[in-house]
Amino acid sequence: MFTRMDARAKMIIACALVIAVISSGHVFMPFVALAVCILTMLFLRIPARLLVLRLAAPLGIVIVLVLLKTFLTEGAAFFSVNVAGKEVAASREGFSQGILIASRVLGSVSVILLLGAVTPAYKIFHGLRWFGVPEGWVEIALLIYRYTFALLDQTADVAAAQSARLGYSSARRSISSVGMLAGTVIARSVDQAMRTYEAMTLRGYQGSFRFGPLPQMSRVDICAVVVAMPVIAASYAILEWWPW
């Protein structure tokens, strides 16, 4: 059902849900969105291991944000730690703010992950053009999406070659290998950009991609949007303003 729905309808619903998540003043709406999106992806038989890997990067950022807000925000202390002989207090207010930010980040990321899981990338880019996003932005996003995977493959090849030569056998060699890996990837990305531009020019590229017209959304997709908007609004109102 989700995969057959028009990409524009899914993008409208996803945008509304993200707005509801990031504008929430409590953790309830973001965590409900997170739970619903994860359960939906599991229902669609997306491997749990893949979900964990995709959430690992934002989760690491979230943990750092929570720690920074907890220890750098003034307020009532509920515990303290000794860092280099100095007591650092953790505030309740900072912890609450950090958890709220964390819930917003994870909730928004889960919505985007679900949208990407049920919608091919080319349909999302086509939908962005239909919504009036500047053509240059869409072209850059399309090229980034296309060549990110190529650069990841090249990065994996270089890292495997370094590992075979004991490039990560010690902490010192690991730092040196990571620096060389970063430099190699940057150099290859520049080379890839030049080759891509030359190939596009030979194929008649004149400064813009051509996107064909999209058909009108079906009544089923329009009804899905019409039904989803009040549901999201009602959920937001209940979870935000209900006297918990």
Within this chain, do residues 82 and 15 fall inside the same structural domain, yes or no?
Answer: yes
Kindly state whether residue 125 falls inside one of the protein's structural domains: no
pLDDT of res. 111: 95
pLDDT of 4 over the 90 cut: no
Domain of 174, in residue numbers = 133-213
Measured distance CA(82)–CA(76) in Å, rounded: 17
Query: Mean pLDDT, to the nearest integer, of 11-33?
Result: 93
pLDDT, mean over the chain? 86
Within this chain, do residues 110 and 5 fall inside the same structural domain, yes or no?
Answer: yes
Partnered with residue 81 across adjacent β-strands are 88
Measured distance CA(35)–CA(194) in Å, rounded: 43
Within this chain, do residues 102 and 4 fall inside the same structural domain, yes or no?
Answer: yes
pLDDT of res. 202: 84
**Residue-wise pLDDT tens digits, 223-241:** 999 999 999 999 999 988 8
Within this chain, do residues 15 and 107 fall inside the same structural domain, yes or no?
Answer: yes
Number of domains comprising the chain: 2
Angle of the 171-202 helix axis to the 135-164 helix axis, nearest 10: 140
Within this chain, do residues 197 and 231 fall inside the same structural domain, yes or no?
Answer: no
Kindly state whether residue 126 falls inside one of the protein's structural domains: no
Within this chain, do residues 195 and 230 fall inside the same structural domain, yes or no?
Answer: no
pLDDT of res. 68: 85
pLDDT of res. 216: 84
Terminal-residue alpha carbon distance, the chain: 35
Output the six-digit token pair for 45.
Answer: 């038989």
Measured distance CA(65)–CA(141) in Å, rounded: 27
Kindly state whether residue 127 falls inside one of the protein's structural domains: no
Measured distance CA(193)–CA(93) in Å, rounded: 47
Residue 104 contacts residue 21 (beta carbons within 8 Å): yes
Within this chain, do residues 185 and 200 fall inside the same structural domain, yes or no?
Answer: yes
**Residue-wise pLDDT tens digits, 114-150:** 999 899 888 898 888 888 888 888 888 888 888 888 8
Output the six-digit token pair for 117.
Answer: 């899981």
Within this chain, do residues 158 and 66 fall inside the same structural domain, yes or no?
Answer: no
Helix (H) or strand (E) holding 82: strand 77-83
pLDDT of 7 over the 70 cut: yes
Within this chain, do residues 172 and 72 fall inside the same structural domain, yes or no?
Answer: no
Query: Mean pLDDT, to the nearest integer, of 41-69?
Result: 88
**Residue-wise pLDDT tens digits, 77-116:** 776 766 666 777 778 888 888 999 999 999 999 999 999 9
Q: pLDDT band at residue 171, thresholds of 50, 70 and 90? A: confident
Q: pLDDT band at residue 244, thresholds of 50, 70 and 90? A: low
Within this chain, do residues 48 and 15 fall inside the same structural domain, yes or no?
Answer: yes
Measured distance CA(34)–CA(151) in Å, rounded: 30
